[in-house]
Amino acid sequence: MTNTPSGPYRRGRGRCALAYSVGDRIVYPLHGAGVIEGVEQREVLGRAEEYYVVRLIVGDMRALIPVARADAAGLRPVADRTRIEQALIAARQVPEAGAGYGERFRANSAKLRAGDVEQVAEVVGSLSHRQRQRGLSAGETRLFEQAWQILLSEIALSAHIPPERADAFLRDAVG
């Protein structure tokens, strides 16, 4: 396991500490926002590894994320109110026309994988706009639903509101 300030462990008072603690609100790209419920040690392929146990708030799923690969997995803290507001402004922007389905799908998929709240909001906004204008293909519909759930979960944890209220808020914000 690495022992770097930017890695999953940070130095503190002569020992290593986990980057995240129980109760921290985090975002796991492609899955959404959740709360760290614990850290477990599991043996995988004969090696003992520590895992964050994350309860994702949408779908009430649990995910195990290797502590040593948390940064590589894109784990990050939930955005604050200012970042959420900036993301919603990005979601309201009318997307540029002209990209074909394949190019649009690849670009939107890359934005979701990046895990940045503003990029996820751009996907929600552009696909929402396209849905109102022309409709979405089956693939874009799945991508839209995934982006919606990811953004909704981050809004819910950031604003300390239930997912149902975050869904209504997001519907109003995107229009």
Bridge-based pairing state of the strands 9-12 and 15-18: antiparallel
Give the CA-trace dihedral at 155, 164, 129, 105, to 10 degrees.
70
Domains of the chain plus CATH, in order, are 9-77 (2.40.10.170), 81-174 (1.20.58.1290)
For the entire predicted model, the pTM comes to 0.84
- Mean pLDDT, residues 152-163 taken together: 96
10 pLDDT above the threshold of 50: no
Residue 131: how many other CB atoms lie within 10 Å? 13
What is the tens place of the pLDDT at every residue in 18-64? 789 999 999 999 899 999 999 999 998 899 999 999 999 988 899 99
Give the pLDDT band of residue 97 (cuts 50, 70, 90): low
Separation CA 67–CA 103 (nearest Å): 34
Separation CA 28–CA 169 (nearest Å): 22
Of the candidates 95, 113, 112, 96, which has an alpha carbon nearest to the alpha carbon of residue 148?
112
